[in-house]
Chain A
Amino acid sequence: MKDHTFDPRLDTNLLLDLYDDDREYALVAFSDFLKLTPVLMGELEKELSTGTVESFRQKVHKLKPTFSYVGLPGMTRQAEGIEKKCREAAGTDELRRLYEDLKTDFEKNYELIQGEAAKLSTM
């Protein structure tokens, strides 16, 4: 992207592959992430408390790729690991621990994505 440099804590190569020179679309995607992902995380937490392992896994599956759209493929892999544990019929305690790790990383990175969206919107 000619007039924008992504934060180096994000996977900048992936972001350049995804958005090329399209800064406007990058802003749309980052804004969508900020809007949609907290909802999906909330659904995930609800499924963990009241749903089945399979319904929780389905939510994780849906959430999984969204992190990569904003340059966080590590979190996609983290979600992939949770999905795998669900398939291996891991216990609820282990799933909750993995979910809490994901939630912590999400909260930490959310501010980073907010900052990136703000930068994109002012250019």
Chain B
Amino acid sequence: MKSKCVILDDEPMARSFLERYCAKTPELELVGSFGSSGEAFDYLSQHEIDILFLDVEMPGDNGFQLLDKLMYMPKVILTTSKTEYAFDAYEYHVIDFLKKPITYNRFLKSIEKATQSSDNVTSVTPRENDFFIKAEGKLIRLNFDDILYIESVGDYVKYFTATKNYLTHSTLKAVEEKMGPHQFMKVHRSYIVNLRKIKDIQDNSVVVEGKVIPISKSLKAGVMLKLNVV
């Protein structure tokens, strides 16, 4: 099966080279090539890919800030040679660094590394009932059943569990898309709750582990329907 890959680099000539190399490599399917992290984030929020060729220094979000916002971790090949990124690269499970100008032979070695690493990443591949978030400088596995609710805090969201809270750079919309509609539901513009954790329902709020969470008027009917209120 081909590996789906995306290129993110604000430099047009670098993008062009990588696009050409991807086209020449039968194991790869280039599904997107972007010049800005905003465009790439929009795509990556809706599509899971296998390999991301990522420039670090770009206007707007840099490469690592983009990774912080993603709800999953593709294999990352950085298109930079700066050693100052080594620590971050380790934290984000970067497969390889490609120094520009990138030759095809060097590119192929990176692809080989990425392909070989596929057997080793199963331990960090989310299962059906859990997922990874990036918080506290690392990837943390959260089980859906452990999450009580999620709160939007500016450009961040905070995951509340019975034992600990985790702040991560993301949006409630992205979380909503990732979590799916079966167990979680947005009840307010600032809250998504785990429906299985709701203890009480009051007029315009639900109670989760003692926390009173408001329900938006516009969402109330949907919440009641979902909760199977008789």
Contact = CB atoms under 8 A, between A and B. Distances in A.
Dominant SS among interface residues on chain A: helix
Contacts of A61: 57
Question: Interface size for chain B: under 10, 10 to 19, 20 to 34, or 35 or more residues?
Answer: 10 to 19
A14 B101 contact: yes
A114 to B, nearest CB: 17
Interface size class of A (residues with CB under 8 A): 10 to 19
A36 B12 CA distance: 9
B100 A29 contact: no
Interface stretch (A1-9, A17-25, A99-107): A17-25
Given A18-B103, A20-B104, A32 B14 contact: no
Contact of A32 (B10, B13, B103): B13
A14 B100 CA distance: 12
B57 A28 contact: no
10 contacts: A17-B103, A17-B104, A18-B101, A18-B104, A29-B17, A32-B13, A36-B13, A64-B100, A66-B13, A68-B100
A58 interface: yes
A33 B105 CA distance: 22
A22 B106 CA distance: 17
Interface in B8-67: 10-14, 16-17, 20, 57, 59
